[in-house]
Structure 1
Amino acid sequence: MVKKHLNPTKIDFIQCIVEDCLWQIRDTKYVDIPDLVTAWSVDINPKESKSVIPFVRSIQDLDPQSFLHVKRIKKVDNSTLRVLIGSSEFLPDRQAFDELMANVSFRYENVRDDNKVPKIGPSTKTLMLTWSEKYWPLVWRGNPNDQILNDYIFDMKEIRSILSQIAEESRKVMKNAGNEEVPVVSAFVNPKSGRVIISNDYRHSRSPLDHSIMVGINEVSKLEQTRRNRVRDGTASQEELEQGETYLCLDFDVYTTHEPCSMCSMALIHSRIKRCIFINPMKGSGALKPESGNGYCMHSNRELNSKYEVFQWVGEDLQVPDVDPQLCA
């Protein structure tokens, strides 16, 4: 984790633009509305805190909610401290809680499972104080999104190269096929091998569901099945053996010429990708930008159990063919 002022990557944290080329797409209308999770707590005597703190540290990595922005201990009165043990995602019921606490070395009482805690911190210190008063005491570590951008790795040379490849392929499709094919092209990058898989749109010549994103996901699965077959029959290359199994499209970077529709955006959720970068927005049918389509912002929807980062290319013009804004890309 590098400090912001030491990060060699140029990042505009106000506009959320990286190297004047990548604009982070997120649903800002919910940024300062807390996304709450219920959590377990116990009350202890202040003298027990020396035993409690190591225990909390030992279990915090097991919890899906990191709570790094949360003060784990708050004062109730002069003789009582309340300790946040874990989220309901980590401890779904009393049995799980009791099993976790079975061998602790400290005494506790007043077990509660109704504490409401923000999953992530707010964007301002003022709001942090408000949430701390209303829900559970928080720690101000700066705007959480700033840290997300600051921690990301951006290989701008590779990003430009892949976007240029799919833009060129998109132009070829438009030139060679005319109006018969949709010039939407995507690229899937395997984080383990670095292999780039280019996928075109085949909805007019095959299934109506064969958008380029769907074709790419299917191609990734076919390649993985082929690799596993080779491993099983002993014909796999050393590279294939070292690569290991690919689970869906876990942590893949996906590049696409046009903002994905709701079907493709949801498919990327199910595929567990890490990041999607697109060139042209699709105002009528897109499902990632707040102002596109019905404003789904599918990649950051709180009702879904997985998320991915999204960026729009706003650098030099890559000359991607325009398509009907109502077309589902």
Structure 2
Amino acid sequence: MSTPEVAASSLEQLGLVARRGQLQPLKTKDEVRAALETYSAYVVEVPAKHANAVKDVIQDALPDLRTSDFGHLRRVVQFKFLPPHLQKTFHPPSRLPRGDEDEHSDVPEDALAEELDTVRFFLVSPTRYIQPADLLLALRKKPPFDILPTAPRILYVTVPALAPTSAEQAAKWTIDYWPIAYKNTNPYGPHPSLVLRNTADLSYEAGHWLALAREAGRQISDLQLGENIGCVIVDKTKGVSNIIAVAGDCRWRSPVGATTPQQGQGNVMAHAVERAIAMVAKKRLRVANANPDLLDRPLFCDSPFTDLEKRFFAMDNLEPHGYLCVDLDIFITHEPCVMCSMAILHSRFRRCVFGRRVPLTGGLAADEAVKKGDGSIGAGNGLGHGIFWRPSELNWKFLAWDWVDEDENDTVLSIKDTLHI
């Protein structure tokens, strides 16, 4: 049976309907930074045939300039390839008569076009490297400006400080700022092809497992043991998805099984993510013929309580070897809090999908955005931790997505933004 058939069959047996929507890959902290940081740079209008000579002038004047810092920006650009707002600012070229539009009205369009073909716009450097007067002096000492009757035209542009992370971002920046050179990679996060491949692999079944997670949360919530929050852990390492654990939130359950007053944050060790990870650990012990009761800790509520949790906990469908949740996937109704995000990270999950952002307490998203009622993403206040994909920090390589739901009346929207998930 194929993975889509397994996912559909699992929900059909339980009388559940898959959630409708699409996956939205999360941006890493560095990707968010790359999208926000800009700086001011000098641009010099030069005769086309002298562009290389100007490059030598700049290198002599700024020996410490690291061109690799702006290697994502086109250095020499024709007028026709400038973004529209710069064409408006830079037109007409300096060697044409200057004045208002009426004074230029008698200049034929073909003459203007021919004139524009003879000039290039040379990106010099960030403005912090040299003062305008010093730049002008350096240019006037060297050809071609040492023999031209007019001073070189120095212009200013705002450009992205860091390289684009996708072809779409490069195209947008080319229109918004300056022509961009995209190298088909992402220096600040997972490679676009890796994200695309994994998104395609999860796209069909994500709505199924999020529906199952929602049901797990509903059953626990109906018992007044926790909030309407749930998660599902899936093993797809062999090509077909196997449900390893299903757990709901149990923060309002006391160690002896009673319902506690719903005040404060409740038992943070009984969040759905913590419970599900604990169930995986107990299953690994069981399939290894060890006693899973050795891990029984009432504080963690790590035993299954509902029929749904018991159904999947009873399956011996997990290899006994391997580190806890290595290469497993986790699907959660809501963005996990910082504590649960770190638990996911250190348990070595491969991929994580959550159904709704919780920006005020969530630990995975880095762009501090909130989901609006219509499903769109808007700017908002948030933690912005981005606890995923940081290979240079503790080998954090797992991928993460949020789910843009098409169902505006989903019950998961009732959870408060200030609740730790």
For residue 319 of structure 1, the aligned residue among 408, 411, 417 is 411
Q: How much does 1:287 deviate? A: 0.9
1:202 is aligned to 2:291? no
**Which runs of 5 or more structure 2 residues have no equivalent in the other structure?**
1-19, 37-162, 171-181, 256-266, 292-314, 370-381
Q: CA–CA distance in 2 between the matches of 1:303 and 1:257?
A: 27
Which position in structure 1 is the counterpart of 2:420?
Answer: 328
Q: Can you list the C-alpha shifts for 1:87-129, whole angstroms capped at 9, x where unaligned?
A: xxxxxxxxxxxxxxxxxxxxxxxxxxxxxxxxxx86379x9xx
| AA of the residue aligned to 1:325 | D
Q: Can you list the C-alpha shifts for 1:106-159, whole angstroms capped at 9, x where unaligned?
A: xxxxxxxxxxxxxxx86379x9xxxxxxxxxxx934456421223324243422
Contact persistence 1:166–1:198 (CA under 8 A): yes
For residue 32 of structure 2, the aligned residue among 29, 32, 55 is 29
1:219 is aligned to 2:279? yes
| AA of the residue aligned to 2:399 | E
1:163 is aligned to 2:206? no
| AA of the residue aligned to 1:294 | L
Q: CA–CA distance in 2 between the matches of 1:197 and 1:284?
A: 27
Which position in structure 2 is the counterpart of 1:12?
Answer: none
SS in 1 for 2:412: coil
Q: Can you list the C-alpha shifts for 1:256-304, whole angstroms capped at 9, x where unaligned?
A: 1111000000111101111111112112101111216421111134534
Which position in structure 1 is the counterpart of 2:231?
Answer: 186
Correspondence 1:1-329 to 2 at 5 A:
21-27=22-28, 28-31=31-34, 123=165, 140-143=183-186, 145-152=191-198, 153-177=200-224, 181-192=226-237, 194-205=242-253, 206=255, 207-229=267-289, 243=319, 245-289=321-365, 290-291=367-368, 293-301=382-390, 303-317=393-407, 318-329=410-421
Q: 1:254 to 1:280 in 2, by over 3 A?
A: same
- Tell me the TM-score normalized by structure 2: 0.43
Contact persistence 1:275–1:310 (CA under 8 A): yes
Task: Kindly name which structure, 1 or 2, has the bigger radius of gyration based on alpha carbons.
Answer: 2
Aligned residues: 205
Identity of aligned residues (%): 26
Q: Which of the two has greater strand per residue?
A: 1
Q: 1:230 to 1:248 in 2, by over 3 A?
A: closer
Q: How much does 1:201 deviate? A: 1.4
| AA of the residue aligned to 1:229 | N
User: RMSD over aligned Cα, in angstroms?
Assistant: 3.4
Q: CA–CA distance in 2 between the matches of 1:251 and 1:315?
A: 26
Q: Can you list the C-alpha shifts for 1:52-81, whole angstroms capped at 9, x where unaligned?
A: xxxxxxxxxxxxxxxxxxxxxxxxxxxxxx
